[in-house]
Amino acid sequence: MNKILAIDYGSKRVGLAVTDTQQIIASGLTTVKTSELMVYLKEYFLSNMVECVVVGHAKNLDNTLSESSKYIEPFVLRLKKAYPELRIERIDERFTSKMAFQTMIDSGISKKARSNKALVDQISATIILQSFLDSRSRG
């Protein structure tokens, strides 16, 4: 099987996570500057077999699109245009940053390390990907 890549898209940074080839385990991959994301993805897709990209769907509690969706939606359109053969899935990303921060606390990561927003973004992407894997196995 091919890998699944998850993207936690932000206006400054993008957290990335990926599955193993069996699509069982979600692991943090890296964090890249938003301005460098398309170049990074091109290189990544050339050296890795990816069958699906999961992009967080930013929503408010009332299920309307959040403020950050104004950055995410144009990116999803660019991604679809650049890779029309690639399956793109969306999954609710509400609370992923808070969950990532709590995961860091629970893991015993120091307060200084928890201020690393790039690490929070990478963990958020991992949570998005694991949520996608969990929903797929349920449904």
Residue type for position 120: V
Say how far apart CA 98 and CA 56 lie, in whole Å.
14
Q: Helix/strand/coil (H, E, C) string of 103-132?
A: HHHHCCCCHHHHCCHHHHHHHHHHHHHHHH
Show the domains of the chain with their CATH numbers.
Answer: 3-138 (3.30.420.140)
pLDDT digits (tens), the chain, 139 positions: 799 999 999 899 999 999 999 999 999 999 999 999 999 999 999 999 999 999 987 766 676 766 777 889 999 999 999 999 999 999 876 556 666 556 656 667 677 766 667 777 888 899 899 889 988 776 6
Say how far apart CA 19 and CA 3 lie, in whole Å.
5
Give the pTM: 0.84
Say how far apart CA 138 and CA 33 lie, in whole Å.
34
The set of residues, in sequence order, having a beta carbon less than 8 Å from that of 49 and lying 6+ positions away, is: 2, 3, 21
